[in-house]
């Protein structure tokens, strides 16, 4: 969504991109084949596979190891300044740990709420007679975009680091090693991220993450595959607003069974029957 006017705007030093989607194994096969063709490789390169967290992406800018700005994605070019709110999130370090971080270090990832915390927030909303949130993602968005940061502070928002924006120096040469660097800087990174050497391995990781989906304790809506080597990512580049080196393999929509208990027909003044 375009940024609202209530928060100051922040222009992203490096645009925040979105991802193309795959909906079947064949789509993923086509993605891998496209990457190989573009790079003129006889074998697939290594890919990371990681859960696609269903939250809000956020860009955290650190200068000399200190958090200076936190911004929402907005339209990808310009987001909202949510620094005061993000400073209340326990999982977002105010200072980077270790010492191998670059002086300008923009860490990107997902702000989200766990299932149990979402249920507790809705129970509290109900007690207060306030509007209930439809899902954890909406509750996370509503909690972050509070003009009063003390309300955000009472919501147990969480953060996984998985990407980056401006870096004055690259601490690693692959997606995998970048995420390991973020862990050293004090961020939580997803323990289910895997390194795959073939299409079969990518699809196997997708199946195993899908099998765990209900027990993770937070919402995910798919698996993201990324070409591991940053050198290859650079050669692949972008098409419009999505990188050629990554794609999201979406899960089918969650299905549930509804028991229809009855249909009431109202007969109107003109004789019209309305169920």
Contact positions toward ligand IVH, by CB under 6 A? 17-19, 50, 52-53, 57, 73, 110, 162-163, 224, 243, 246, 248
Identify which of 109, 225, 227, 102 has the alpha carbon closest to the alpha carbon of residue 162.
109
Containing H/E element for 84?
helix 83-86
Please report how close the Cβ of residue 234 comes to ligand IVH at its closest, in angstroms.
13
Terminal CA-CA length for the chain: 36
DSSP letter assigned to residue 12:
-
**CB-CB contact of 144 with 82 (8 Å):** yes
Residues 6 or more apart whose Cβ sits within 8 Å of residue 11: 77, 78
Beta carbon nearer to ligand IVH, 120 or 183: 183
Beta carbon nearer to ligand IVH, 102 or 109: 109
Cα gap 13→77, rounded to integer Å: 8
Please report how close the Cβ of residue 226 comes to ligand IVH at its closest, in angstroms.
7
Q: Which two tokens stand for residue 83?
A: 């620094």
Q: Is 95 a residue of the active site?
A: no
**Of 9, 52, 95, 226, catalytic:** 52
Please report how close the Cβ of residue 117 comes to ligand IVH at its closest, in angstroms.
18
Beta carbon nearer to ligand IVH, 17 or 151: 17
Beta carbon nearer to ligand IVH, 53 or 67: 53
Alpha helices in 128-198 (DSSP H): 136-144, 149-153, 175-184
Q: Which residue is nearest to ligand IVH (CB)?
A: 57
Please report how close the Cβ of residue 57 comes to ligand IVH at its closest, in angstroms.
3
Q: Which residues are catalytic?
A: 52
């Amino acid at each position: 969504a375009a940024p609202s006017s209530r928060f100051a705007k922040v222009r992203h030093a490096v645009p925040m991109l979105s991802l193309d989607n795959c909906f079947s194994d064949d789509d993923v096969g086509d993605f891998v084949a496209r990457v190989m063709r573009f790079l003129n490789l006889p074998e697939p390169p290594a890919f990371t596979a990681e859960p696609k967290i269903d939250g809000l992406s956020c860009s955290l800018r650190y200068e000399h190891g200190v958090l200076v700005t936190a911004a929402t994605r907005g339209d990808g070019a310009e987001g909202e300044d949510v620094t005061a709110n993000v400073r209340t999130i326990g999982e977002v370090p105010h200072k980077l740990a270790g010492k191998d971080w670059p002086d300008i270090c923009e860490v990107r990832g997902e702000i989200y709420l766990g299932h149990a915390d979402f249920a507790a927030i809705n129970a509290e909303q109900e007690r207060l007679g306030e509007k209930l949130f439809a899902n954890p993602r909406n509750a996370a968005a509503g909690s972050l975009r509070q003009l009063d940061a003390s309300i955000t502070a009472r919501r147990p928002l969480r953060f996984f680091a998985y990407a980056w924006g401006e870096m004055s120096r690259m601490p690693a040469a692959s997606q995998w090693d970048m995420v390991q660097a973020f862990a050293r800087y004090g961020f939580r990174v997803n323990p289910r991220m895997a390194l795959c050497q073939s299409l079969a391995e990518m699809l196997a990781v997708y199946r195993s993450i899908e099998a765990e989906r209900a027990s993770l304790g937070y919402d995910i809506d798919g698996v993201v595959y990324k070409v591991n080597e940053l050198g290859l990512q650079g050669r692949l580049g972008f098409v419009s607003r999505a990188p050629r080196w990554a794609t999201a393999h979406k899960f089918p929509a969650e299905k549930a069974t509804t028991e229809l208990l009855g249909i009431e027909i109202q007969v109107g003044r003109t004789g019209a029957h309305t169920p």
